[in-house]
């Protein structure tokens, strides 16, 4: 299964983290720090795999991709194929690109919940659900329709909220 998904920028600031095993907050922060320490020391144009057993315990692998100012990191175990995970990062990034039209770090910063919606369509409970970005985009659109439909009939609590859902 997939153990964790992390997106962080090249300065080590986490932008999205999701741990599919329960981890305490301090532990999560520590893991993120250690992963960043490894990633930032790696030069360009080297392999995308990192030995992660010292960080995440036995039977774990880590694959990452570096896009512009962001690292996309997947941590997984021997039930997943390394190259397939690399492809999955690609699928994730492609989907983001489609949903946000030329994704940049700021999109990720400001669309926290949408990001989670997208990720949940691809990986659920550590299992890969969908590997086609078009399918994911479709599903995400459906969900946001559903959400705005639900929001439209909110009787009270008007301000801020409406502006947000549009």
Residues that bind another protein (CB under 8 A): 1, 13-18, 22, 25-26, 28-29, 42-43, 45-51, 78-79, 81-84, 86-87, 109-110, 112-113, 116-117, 124-131, 139, 146-147, 150-151, 154, 156-161, 164
**What pairing do the DSSP bridges indicate for beta strands 70-76 and 61-67?**
antiparallel
Alpha-carbon distance of 16 to 73, in angstroms, equals 10
- As measured in angstroms, the least distance from the Cβ of 68 to another protein is 18
C-alpha separations of 40 from 10, 11, 69, 86, 128 in Å: 7, 8, 12, 19, 27
Least separation in angstroms between CB 129 and another protein = 6
State the minimum distance, in angstroms, from the CB of residue 118 to another protein. 13
Nearer to another protein, 23 or 97 (CB): 23
C-alpha pair distances (Å), 89 with each of 86, 132, 142, 149, 153: 5, 12, 23, 31, 37
Taking the complex as a whole, how short is the minimal distance between the CB of residue 72 and another protein, in angstroms? 15
Specify the residue, 97 or 117, whose C-beta has the smaller distance to another protein: 117
Q: Which is nearer to another protein, 46 or 68 (CB)?
A: 46
Of the two residues 58 and 68, which places its CB atom closer to another protein in the complex?
58
Whole-number minimum distance, CB 55 to another protein, in Å?
Answer: 14
Helix ranges, the chain (H) = 25-40, 53-56, 82-100, 105-110, 112-122, 133-152, 161-165
DSSP code per residue over 81-99: -HHHHHHHHHHHHHHHHHH
The residue assigned the tokens 């932008």 is: 15
Q: Which is nearer to another protein, 18 or 98 (CB)?
A: 18
């Amino acid at each position: 299964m997939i153990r964790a998904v992390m997106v962080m920028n090249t300065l080590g600031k986490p932008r999205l983290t999701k741990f599919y095993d329960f981890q305490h907050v301090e532990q999560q922060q520590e893991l993120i720090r250690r992963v960043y320490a490894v990633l930032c020391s790696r030069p360009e144009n080297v392999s995308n795999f990192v030995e992660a057993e010292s960080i995440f315990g036995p039977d774990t692998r880590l694959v990452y991709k570096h896009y512009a100012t962001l690292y996309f990191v997947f941590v997984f175990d021997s039930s997943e194929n390394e190259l397939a995970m690399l492809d999955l990062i690609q699928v994730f990034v492609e989907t983001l690109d489609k949903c946000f039209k030329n994704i940049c770090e700021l999109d990720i910063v400001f669309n926290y919940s949408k990001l989670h919606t997208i990720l949940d369509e691809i990986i659920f409970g550590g299992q890969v659900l969908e590997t086609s970005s078009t399918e994911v985009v479709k599903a995400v659109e459906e969900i946001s329709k559903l959400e705005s439909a639900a929001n439209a009939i909110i009787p009270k609590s008007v301000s801020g909220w409406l502006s947000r859902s549009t």
